Amino acid sequence: MRVSISLTAAAALVVLLFEGCAFNHRSVAISQAPLKIREHPTTGAAFAGFRTAEWNSERPQPPSLPAAVRTSSLYDGGDWSPAADATGLWDSFYGIPVESIDPADDVFLKYSHFVVSYDPDGFYPVWTAHVLTKASVEVGDNHHFPRPSTWSPEKRLSPFMTHVPVDDDFADLGGITDSNDPLFYERGHMSAKEEIEGFGEPAMLETFRLANQAPEIGTLNGGTWGKLERHCRYLALAQGNVWVFTGPVFKDPLHPKTLTGKTNVAVARPDAFWKIVLFSMPDRTLHVAAFIMPHQKCDSDHMYQKYQKTVAEVEAATGLTFFSLYNGLPPDFKTSRDPTMERLVKIGSKIKPTPFLLVDN
C-alpha cells in the first residue's frame, strides 16, 4: 500500500536527538513546540530539534495530554522540558505508539538516538523506537565498538520501582547456565546495538541499558531475529531513512509468564517479538512492513519473511496503536502486507558501505 507525503512531512519524520531523560508519557502536557531540522555532526544524518523554528501549519498538530505529574524529580537541567520533549516524540513518528493495556505507569526513557517506553511493573520495555539513516549504517558498518562486559541498570527508573533491574537478574534464566544450550536466554536488544553504533560509541553503550532488552532465546536473537535486524540496515543503505519500532508480545500482558535465574527475581518472558519498519520512497510515498516472530528456538532456514504481518495484526497482539497522528492513511495501510521492503533489501545487500573516518571534535 502507498500513501503520498509532502517534502515537509517527510523531512519531519527524521530521527530525534534524544536526550537522556525519563518521564511518564501518560502524564505529560504537550505544547505546540516548534521543530527544526539539523544535521548530526558526525554522520550528517538529519534530526529534529525543539523550539527553534516556526511550526508548519501543514503538519498535523499533536493532541493534548493530561497535566504533568511525576516529572519534577527527573529534570536534569539544560534546555529540556517535558512538554517540548513529548511534542517532538509524538510528532516525529506521526504519533508515538499509544498503549491501551494498563498504560498509566509506563515510563519514557530517552537516549541520544532511541527511546524506550518501559513498564516498571513487568520489568520490560513495551516498545522502543529509533531511526536508521544511510549515513549512520555506513558509519556503523565500518566502526564496530567493543561490547561492554555487562549491561547497566537504568537508574532513572528508581522513582518508579522498588527494585531497579540489575544485570544478574537476567543471568541463568530458567536455570539454563550453558550458553551453548539452544534454549539459553540472552539479553535481547530491542533497539539493536548495530543500528545505533553509527552514531558513536557513547550512543552504542546506551543500548546496553537493561531497559532496552528483554529475555530472548539466543538462537533466535542471533538467527532469524538477527537477520531481520540486518535487513533493516540493508533497507537503510538502499533507501535512506528507516523508522524502526520494536517490542515484546505477551499473550496476557497483565499476567505474563515469568522466569527466574541467578538472583531469583522474576522477569517477564515474552511470548513473541514484533517489529514495524516504516520508510519512504523517492516518489514521496510511505511504506510499512510489520513482523511478529514467535519466541522459540531459531528456525534453521532463518526466513523471517514468513513472519510478516500487518500493522493491524501487531496492534491486535500488543494493544498498541501506531501512527495515530497521520490522518492521511489509506484504509489498507494497516491491513495490507507491503512487499516493497524485500525488493529494497535485495538492493541494499549488494551495497558496500562507504568507508568513513571518525574524527574526535
pLDDT tens digits for range 80-116:
333 334 344 445 556 678 887 766 678 888 888 888 9
> For residue 17, which of 199, 208, 154 has the smallest C-alpha distance?
199
> What does the DSSP 8-state code read for residue 209?
B
Place of cell 529534529: 48
- Predicted local confidence at residue 94, as pLDDT: 62
In terms of pLDDT, which residue wins out, 350 or 357?
350
Residue 47: pLDDT over 50: no
Model confidence at 24, pLDDT cuts 50, 70, 90, reads very low
Determine the residue type at 361. Answer: N
Residue 354 lies in a domain: no
Is the distance from CB of 53 to CB of 59 less than 8 angstroms? no
The region of weakest confidence among 8-17, 176-185, 237-246, 311-320 is 8-17
pLDDT in the model for residue 281: 79
Chain-centre distance for alpha carbon 118: 11
User: For the chain, where are the alpha helices, taking DSSP H only?
Assistant: 7-12, 82-92, 134-142, 193-196, 201-206, 218-221, 224-239, 311-318, 340-348
Distance of CA 59 to the CA centre of its chain: 23
Q: Above 50 in pLDDT, residue 18?
A: no
Residue 361 inside a domain? The answer is no
Question: Backbone phi, then psi, for 99, in 5-degree steps?
Answer: -95, 135
Q: Calculate Rg over the CA atoms of the chain.
A: 19
Residue 44 in domain = yes
Residue 360 lies in a domain: no
Q: What percent of the chain has pLDDT over 90?
A: 43
Assess if residue 196 is contained within a domain. yes
Q: Whole domain around residue 323: which residue ranges?
A: 3-348
- The tally of domains found in the chain comes to 1
State in Å, rounded, how far the first CA of the chain is from the last one: 44
pTM of the model: 0.76
64 domain residue, yes or no: yes
C-alpha cell read off for 156? 532513572
CATH number for 135: 3.40.570.10
pLDDT bracket for residue 181 (50, 70, 90): very high
CA–CA gap between residue 36 and residue 18 (Å, rounded): 14
Q: Is 152 inside any structural domain?
A: yes
DSSP state of 252: S
**Any domain includes 355:** no
